[in-house]
Structure 1
Amino acid sequence: MGPLMSLEQQLSALELSILPTWVWDHERCRFPWANSKAVALWRASDRAELLSRDLSDLSASTRTRLENYLRAILDGQTVEEDWTLYPRGVPATMTLHGQGVRLDDGRTGILFQALPRQAGIDDSMVRGVEAVRHTSVLISLVDGEGHILFHNPAALRATHSATRLDALFPDPGISAAILRVLTGEHVPFSAEIPVGPPDDERLHLVEARATTDPVTGGRAVLVQQLDLTAQRKAEVEVEAQRRLIDELNRSLALVEQQRQQIVTLSAPILEVWEGTLAVPLIGLIDAARGDELAERLLPAISQRTAAKVILDLTGAEALDLEGAAALERLSRAVTLLGARPVLTGVRPEVARALIDAGIHAEGFVILRSLRQGLEACRAPAPAPSRARARP
């Protein structure tokens, strides 16, 4: 047996063919051979430029179609299908005939011959075919016996070229339900169905409706599958985040409620007797604490017509400038309502903080202890002096 012929020798007779003819090496995504008509079709400057092109940036749908062709050719088949090619970005629709050819390194390539687009094919049909080929929706055409007549590239990738409808769905009842759309009722089928192996299960929205096979004229079912896995996962995550936010809001509300209770307990408003309120201040006094106490104390003064308010600082922490200013604002607000503030439990460090803040004692009664404050508020007010009548 003589040596095997090279690819150039095998195809030398096709060099003069009137049909654009080229060889596709799918593994390397290159053209290892092309005739002059193919060079012109692909708008190459010369044969060397065409054979040097790297076409590895194929779309997913184009790669799937070519992989399916190669599998069919390795099984001894030939392929024929309409294509829209884009040489140098210019669309060209034609029918491609493909068959196997041995490459120089022993691998199998695809020998394509291109027939020009048939007259009378509408532009909208060409666009529709291309849209079906590039959509991410899985589209299949099935005959009444459940045989797959057509898969678009998305369906080919997902189903690994399954030849029967019952191979697409784990539940055999789904296939039967889909085929029932061919009964006299013609009711479309629609359901969300888990598909795929257990370790990679996905959720598809499956819709099926009766149609006609444009090749044989027989009744067929158009099956469309939309992958909802990512959408449902996102919805679950959003719902989990919503529940987390709700729980966080409830926790924050509880913390705020507890804070308000603690604040209230740390500065209770006590009516020691009619006309006198006492407010023991415990802990830190700052601007926020002063504002909160004012919101509770000032309405209480008006409601109870209090004339005296004892602000006891025995349990208060050492004041800083902010705390001293807050205490002054609170005391002046009490004065503006017609009540007299009485500061008790003023320790030396508290008095120093009041002085450092520039706060003076005008308008305040300042006593050392709460007991002294209670006694002072309990004592009757001095009678107003009367002018002596002239003799």
Structure 2
Amino acid sequence: MASISDHDPPQRRGFRPGMLISDTRYRGLTFQFIALVAIIFLVAWLGKNLVQNLAAAGLSFSYGFLDNPANYDINQTLIEYTSRSSHLRAAIVGVINTLLVAVAGCILATLIGVTAGVLRLSKNWLVGRLMSVYVEAFRNVPVLIWILIISALVTLSGAAPRDFLTRGGSVEPESGLFLGMLAFTNRGLYAPAVQIGPGWPIVVGALFLGIVGFFVWRSYVKRTLYSSGRLLPSWPAWAILIVPVVVAQLTLGSFSFIRPDVASNNFNIQGGTLIGKPFIALWLALSVYTGAFIAENVRAGILSVSRGQTEAAAALGLRPRRIMNLVVLPQALRVIVPPLISQYLNLTKNSSLAIAVGYADITATLGGITLNQTGRAIECVLLLMLFYLIISLSISGVMNLYNASVSLKER
């Protein structure tokens, strides 16, 4: 006969050290902690070994060299810089140049990629085949080769500045300027320079508010369409974006443009700003190369949308442009955006090949000339790694937020 104690529920036992391995609730955390401790010890050992080897070679780990004069010129700078500026200033110039070509490249690559991806699905046989040739040619040739090819084409193009100044042997104002403000010469592209005056924060603030209002209105239009089926006009979004900044600019005149002048000098173009050929070559090469990969992402995203949804939208009377904007692209973005993040990261990191065309990015300044002059290879490489890590994580963070906003919301 069973006793009463046989039917009592088992007593809950307390925590025991052996449960860190035997209990599945703690086993994963235990192994992660062991791996973390091992990594910390490995990094500490490598750091200690590095310091000992540097000391044995009579060297020290220091970033004091950043305060020393750089003693070299940079062909394109967006901030004030001379050869007597510090290595830190030269590194900052390199960072700005890298960010400039990365941002400009991502914008142009997106425009090229979206256009090529859509045109590759065109029913026009010639257009579709041309886009296929473009995509396959750029995707299957290394980016460095395309950088060198496009750099050679850009370098060999463009006339001398004085050829823009004369026509029939006499100087004519603006005779060779495209739209009266652009001139592509053998030195680079002469374009209007922006001069900032008082009150510019108000104009910039108006632009920021216009951008916010633009997206708010677009979001409101989309919510109204999905909730009630009523399609509101899209032109107020552009009015919200443009009108405030135009009114602020016309009222304050904070930004003015200095156009290149061809009448005041017989041998050179005066005024404006000169965009060097190394930047143009690198920007075009990275944009066109990355655009080929983005085109494939766009094509795959569009093809992932069922043809039946397009036919249903057409049966409702929507025009092709409306179908693409309201039906196809919102669903295709869920497929396009994740690989698009990788393409933006690849373009940013591929900008380190700028040294091949003589463009002074962070790799050419800090990782090239400064490293060779100072001999501080470890310090320079660590700074380069830190910069690319920060910019890559920033791009990933921003794009992941956008990806979350366009991803499928499950109930």
Structure number with greater Rg is 1
Q: Which has the higher contact order (CA 8 A, sep 6+)?
A: 2
Q: In proportion to residue count, which structure has more strand? A: 1
What band does the TM-score fall into relative to the shorter chain?
under 0.3
TM-score norm. by structure 2 comes to 0.17
Q: In proportion to residue count, which structure has more helix? A: 2
TM-score norm. by structure 1 comes to 0.18
